[in-house]
Amino acid sequence: MTEWIALSRTTHAGQTYKAREGYQHAEGQMLVPVLVAELAKVLPHYVIGFVKTEEGLSPMAVLGVEKGQNLYLHRDGRWLAKYVPASLRGFPFNLAKGQGKDKTLAIASEHLGEGDVPLFENGEPSESVAEMLTFLGQRVHNHELTLQATKRLEQAGVLTDWNLVVPVGEGHKQLRGLKGIDEQALNNLEDRVFAGLRGAPIQLAYAQVYSMAQIDQLTLRSQLHQKWDSNSKEDVDLEDLFGEDDDDLSFNF
Instruction: Read off the DSSP letter of residue 225.
Output: H
**Across the chain, what does the average pLDDT equal?**
90
Confidence of residue 161 (pLDDT cuts 50, 70, 90): very high
Q: What is the pLDDT of residue 242?
A: 59
131 three-state secondary structure: helix
Q: pLDDT tens digits, residue range 47-104?
A: 999 999 999 999 999 999 999 999 999 989 999 999 999 999 999 999 987 655 678 9
DSSP annotation string for 206-223? HHHHHHGGGHHHHHHHHH
15 three-state secondary structure: coil
Q: What is the pLDDT of residue 105?
A: 94
Who contacts 253 (Cβ-Cβ below 8 Å, separation ≥6)?
37, 38, 40, 41
pLDDT at 146 over 50: yes
Q: pLDDT tens digits, residue range 185-233?
A: 999 999 999 999 999 999 999 999 999 999 999 999 999 998 888 776 5
Rounded Cα gap, residues 251 and 42, in angstroms:
13
Confidence of residue 2 (pLDDT cuts 50, 70, 90): confident
pLDDT at 144 over 90: yes
Q: What is the pLDDT of residue 230?
A: 78
Q: What is the pLDDT of residue 253?
A: 39
pLDDT at 176 over 80: yes
Q: pLDDT tens digits, residue range 42-53?
A: 999 999 999 999
Instruction: Write the CA distances from 81 to 36, 193, 217, integer angstroms.
Output: 19, 36, 10
